[in-house]
Structure 1
Amino acid sequence: MSRILVTGATGNAARHLPGKLLAAGHSVRVLVHRTPGTELDRRIETVAGDLTDAGSLPAALDGIDQVFLVTVGDGAAAFAKAAAAHPELRVLLLSSKAVVNTEFAGFDNPIYRKHLLAEQQLAELGVPLATLRPGGLASNALRWAPGIREHSRVQALFPELAAPLLDPDDLAAVAALILNAGVDAHRGATYTLTGPEVVTVADQVEILSAVLGRPLELVRLTEEEALTALARTQPPEFVRDYIPVQRRYLATTPAVHGTVAELLGRPARTFREWAYANAFRFG
């Protein structure tokens, strides 16, 4: 069994992964910014560090065989610098489907640039590498949870925006499969991951309404209202590019990829299945 470092384990994308790795018998270490609460299994080792600070990472990498790596603002520059002293490492990178979306060719924005940078930086590092490129996650709907709990209301700029949303548990299952086999067995592979069906924002609200058993109001925001709301929680560069990115998505036809089913031997979970499993998070 491997000693595996998981980054991003307290976020939506990787929260299910440590448990799956523990169940398979691996030793799991999680990189955290601060001492976590009770949400992590007591069998998990935690090490404080920051993926933007190479000097904070040696303790996290010490004795590690494999890494599940999320990207940060500079891609993976600090990680690559720290990992240069550990040529034995094998890395599974969480990138994004957006890096190969032709509709974004030449579109310089920080939302996607970090993923492209990370892929380039790790390729230059030369360690065994496999890459996951998911599209949008079903858990993105959790941003509506406060409005649903307090007002039974969802606010959205483009209710018609559509995507084949991926259940984060499926993402974790694919990551666990690769890490269980060993990244060496998947070296050089890139897997594009989506959910099994395209759903619009309006579809998601309708599904959540049915799952929660109460009507939900869907309110269309103006662009000015959307930008004002984003500015409360997001950095200026994200706010600047948000609407241009969404408009480009509106002009595309979302593609469903069958990679999850091919790798796991079962269908990918739908947004409705995700909603039933996470209904408690909406109050």
Structure 2
Amino acid sequence: MSRILVTGATGNAARHLPGKLLAAGHSVRVLVHRTPATELDRRIETVTGDLTDAASLRAALDGINQVFLLTVADGAAAFVEAAAAHPGLRVLLLSSKAVVNTEFDGFENPIYRKHVLAERQLAELGLPTAVLRPGGLASNALRWAPAIREHGRVQALFPELAAPLLDPEDLAAVAALILNAGVDAHRGATHTLTGPEVVTVTDQVEILGEVLGRPLEFVRLTEEEALAALARTQSPEFVRDYIPVQRRYLTLTPTVHGTVAELLGRPARTFRQWAYANAFRFA
């Protein structure tokens, strides 16, 4: 069994992964910004650090065989610096399907640049690496949870925006499968992950209402309102590019990839299944 460092375990993308690795018999260490991380299993070792701080990463990597790695604004620059002293590492990188969307000029776009950078930096480092490229996550709907709880309302810019949303638990299951086998078995592989069906924003709101047992009001935001809301939590560069990117997505036909089913031997979970499993987070 491996000693595995998981980054991002307290966020939506990787929250299911440590438990799956523990169940498989691995020793799991989680990188957190502060301790204690009370939502984690007590069997998990936690280490305080930051993905932009190479010194803290060097300590976090001590004794580790495999890493599940998220990206930050500068890609994986600090991780690459720290990992240079750990030549036995194997890395599973969480990137994004967007890096192959040449329509978006991904490297210059701050929404996607970090993923392009990280893939390039790890390739140059030369450690055995596999890459996961998920599309949009079903858990992105959690951004509506406060307004649903308080007002029974969802606000969004483009109700017709569509994507094959991926259940984060499927993402974790694929990551666990690769880490269980060992990254060497998938070395050089890039797995593009999506959900099994395309759903629009309107579809998501209707499904959430059905699951929660009450109709939800949909309010279409103006561009000015959407930008003002984004500016409260996002960088100016992100805000600048957000609407042009969304408009571009409206012109594309979303593609469903069967990778989850091929790797796991079962169908990928639908947005409705995710909604039922996470209904308590909207209550």
Q: Deviations over 1:248-277 (max 9, x none)?
A: 111100000000000000000000000000
The equivalent of 1:88 in structure 2 is 88
Give the alignment of 1:38-117 within 5 angstroms: 38-105=38-105, 108-117=108-117
Structure-1 residue corresponding to 2:154: 154
Partner of 1:210: 210
1:133 to 2:133 alignment: yes
Amino acid in structure 2 at the alignment position of 1:129: T
Distance in 1 between residues matched to 2:249 and 2:36, nearest whole Å: 36
C-alpha displacement at 1:102, in angstroms? 2.9
Per-residue deviation, 1:105: 3.4
Measured after TM superposition, the shift of residue 185 of structure 1 is: 0.4
**Moved beyond 6 Å, runs of 4+:** none
User: Helix, strand or coil: the match of 2:111?
Assistant: helix
Deviation at 1:36, TM superposition (A): 3.5
Give the distance between the partners of 1:36 and 1:169, measured in 2 at CA.
Answer: 24
RMSD: 0.8
- 1:29 aligned residue: 29
Deviations, residues 145-186 of structure 1 (Å, cap 9, x unaligned): 000000000000000000000000000000000000000000
- Deviation at 1:113? 0.5
CA contact (8 A) 2:106 2:113 kept: no
Aligned counterparts of 1:12 and 1:5: Cα–Cα separation in 2: 17
Asked if residue 142 in structure 1 is aligned to residue 123 in structure 2, the reply is no
Alignment of 1:185-204 (within 5 A): 185-204=185-204
Cα distance change, pair 121–162 in 1 and its aligned pair in 2 (3 A): same
Compute the displacement of 1:139 (Å): 0.1
Matches of 2:31 and 2:187, distance apart in 1: 24
Report the counterpart of residue 276 of structure 1 in structure 2.
276
The alpha-carbon deviation at position 122 of structure 1 amounts to: 0.3
Instruction: State the SS of the aligned residue for 1:244.
Output: helix
Give SS of 1:131's match: strand
TM-score under structure 1 length normalisation:
0.99
Deviating more after overlay: 234-243 vs 270-279: 234-243
Q: What are the ranges of 5 or more consecutive residues in structure 1 without an aligned counterpart?
A: none
Where does residue 256 of structure 2 map in the other structure?
256
Number of residue pairs the alignment of both structures matches? 283
Aligned letter for 2:259? T
Q: Deviations over 1:177-209 (max 9, x none)?
A: 000000000000000000000000000000000
Deviation track 1:33-54 (CA, whole Å, cap 9, x = no partner) reads: 1014321000000001111111
Cα distance between partner residues in 1 of 2:102 and 2:232: 31
**What does residue 246 of structure 1 align with?**
246
Query: How far apart, in 2, do the equivalents of 1:280 and 1:62 lie?
Result: 38
After TM superposition, the score normalised by the length of structure 2 is 0.99
Q: Can you list the C-alpha shifts for 1:118-163, whole angstroms capped at 9, x where unaligned?
A: 0000001100000000000000000000000000000000000000
Alpha-carbon distance change, 110 to 183 in structure 1, aligned in 2, over 3 angstroms: same
Find the aligned partners of 1:71 and 1:106 in 2 and give their Cα distance.
Answer: 15
* 1:178 match: secondary structure: helix
Paired with 1:82 and 1:51, the residues of 2 have a C-alpha distance of 10
CA distance in 2, matches of 1:42, 1:178: 24
Once the two structures are superposed, what CA deviation does each residue of 1:47-82 show, in whole Å capped at 9, x if it has no partner? Answer: 011111112211100000000000000000000000
Can you give the 5+ residue segments of structure 2 that lack an aligned partner in the other structure? none
Q: Which residue of 2 aligns with 1:230?
A: 230
Q: Matches of 2:6 and 2:173 in 1, distance apart?
A: 14
- Structure 2 distance, partners of 1:265, 1:52, is 37
Instruction: Tell me by how many angstroms 1:107 deviates.
Output: 6.6
Contact 2:93 2:132 in 1 (8 A): yes
Once residues 36 and 71 of structure 2 are traced to their aligned partners in structure 1, the CA distance between those partners, rounded to angstroms, is 20
> Does 189-198 or 104-113 show the bigger shift?
104-113
